[in-house]
Amino acid sequence: MLQLPPGCEISCPGCAYRGLSAVASAERKQSYLSRELAPWEAVIEPLREPAERWGYRKKSLLHVRKLGGEESSFWGIGMIRRRGREEEFIPIPDCPAHDGRVNELFSLAARLVPVHWPFSFALASGRALTIVLKSTRRAEWAAEMRAWVLPPEISLFVNWNPGAGNRPLDSRRTECLQGSPWLEEGGVRHGPVAFRQQIPELERAAVELGENFLEAAGLPLGVDLYCGLGLSLRRWRALGWEAAGVELSGESLAAAAVNAPGALLLRGRTEERLPQLNEFIGGKSFVLYTNPPREGHGAAVNGWINSAAPARVAYLSCNPRSLKDDLKVLAERYSVEKIVPFDFFPQTPHVEAMALLKLRVDLGAL
């Protein structure tokens, strides 16, 4: 087993591959993809890896527990290890997988939040700190948090979530108490909760790969089914394309409106917005970018793709098993040209993959 860096808590369940070398970890992930995506093994490329495997996490959501005795209690921030019905709280104050700023924000939260408050989760994202309180809004607590002395670059948010538990955040009840309500990295606006890949170099590589493949079709009309912050829409609009995106998160969609001005943005579940997408496409040829949640597209979305027949599809998947299921259905009309894996989460078994699909030649592919 490799020597672990300082601060790595051996009992923490977060990084199952931390004892492996970079080579051994990559081999396991590559082997897993080959098994799960066996029908397309011949077109799976080598894993794209980051330059650094530690200190990469710029966003982290952790559990909070009160530790110490009754007279000397303090906040611990960390992970939960489950063994059957038993749970063990593992504090990770100096986690080496985190960017140093993330650990600093968690330390700040542990110092500032009074120990009698119902502090349940802490979220650090870039220069934003979100305190999750298991409570409805209390004006006196909000006033106290507004008075905290923070570094000037830090934005402070509170998420009022009386049901905090299996669902840590209530998407309807996030309030900005200090600093800017919006963050910006690399010219892209985002909020404190919105998803973004942890490793910018790999995020750029994945977007470039998918967009270059789509743009080669020569069709200035693009649809992004789970558009998030609008990275693909931003690029398409800069090229003068007509573009439409669907996104469930209101925070992400508000950011996409700034990141990709002029794009048609539809809020809701993708399967519920297919009629509006048909109207937008208007029977014209188009290309498609898709990055669905772990469960994949589902029958309605796969059926729509086969029916609407975009000339090319770039599909970024966070779950090879659901990708396999979706590709089996899309094989009705598409050939898989290439599958490129990305190691967005070093030290863990998690691996993502970009599948590049073309409408089959006998059906008029480009």
Question: What residues contact residue 284 under an 8 Å CB cut-off, 6+ apart?
Answer: 221
CATH number at residue 268: 3.40.50.150
CATH of the domain at 83: 2.40.50.1070
Residue type, 187: G
Domain assignment present for residue 8? The answer is no
Q: Are residues 155 and 278 in the same domain?
A: no
Query: Quick one: pLDDT at residue 70?
Result: 77
CB 66 within 8 A of CB 75: yes
Domain match, 227 and 307 both: yes
Confidence at residue 282, expressed as pLDDT on a 0 to 100 scale? 97
Q: Does residue 363 register a pLDDT over 80? A: no
Same-domain status, 104 and 216? no
In this predicted model, what pLDDT tens digit does every residue of 145-170 receive, in sequence order?
A: 999 999 999 999 999 999 999 899 99
Which pLDDT does position 180 carry in this prediction? 94
Work out the percent of the chain whose per-residue pLDDT is above 70. Answer: 98
Mean pLDDT, range 327-338, rounded to an integer: 97
- Give me the pLDDT at residue 195, please: 82
Residue 163, token pair as written in the block: 């049901």
Alpha helices in 260-349 (DSSP H): 274-281, 299-308, 320-330
Q: pLDDT band for position 1 (50/70/90)?
A: low
Q: Does position 20 have pLDDT exceeding 80, yes or no?
A: yes
Q: What's the mean pLDDT when you consider all of the chain?
A: 95
Distance CA 284, CA 297 (A): 23
Domain membership of residue 14 (yes or no) is no
- Which one of 190, 210, 225 terminates a domain? 190
If asked whether residues 237 and 311 sit together in one domain, one would say yes
Q: 9 in a domain, yes or no?
A: no
pTM: 0.94
Q: Give the model confidence (pLDDT) of 65-111 as tens digits.
A: 999 987 789 999 999 999 888 999 999 999 999 999 999 999 999 99
Range of the domain at 167: 59-190
Task: Give per-residue pLDDT as tens, 198-237.
Answer: 898 999 999 999 999 999 999 999 999 999 999 999 999 9
Evaluate whether residue 2 is within a structural domain: no
**Is 310 part of a structural domain of the chain?**
yes
Number of domains in the chain: 2
What pLDDT score does 346 carry? 96
Instruction: Supply angle C-alpha 268, 312, 340, rounded to 5.
Output: 90
On whether both 356 and 306 belong to a single domain, the answer is yes
Residue 254 is assigned to a structural domain of this protein: yes
Q: Break the chain down into helix, strand, coil percent, rounded to 5.
A: 30, 25, 40
**Do 38 and 64 share a domain, yes or no?**
no
Long-range contacts, stretch 2-6, CB < 8 angstroms, 24+ apart: 4/96, 5/54, 5/96, 6/94, 6/96
In a domain, 12, yes or no: no
Domain-terminating residue out of 190, 211, 231: 190
The answer to whether residues 185 and 201 belong to one domain is no
- Same-domain status, 348 and 254: yes
Whether residue 6 has pLDDT greater than 90: yes
* Residue 255 and residue 132 in one domain: no
- Domain end, chosen from 168, 190, 212, is at 190
Q: Is the pLDDT of residue 139 over 70?
A: yes
Check whether residue 297 and residue 338 sit in a common domain: yes
Rounded to whole angstroms, the Cα distance separating 296 from 299 reads: 9
Residue 346 and residue 232 share a domain: yes
Give the per-residue pLDDT at 201.
Answer: 93
Domain membership flag for residue 5 = no
Model confidence band, residue 8 (pLDDT cutoffs 50, 70, 90): very high
Together in a domain, 154 and 87: yes
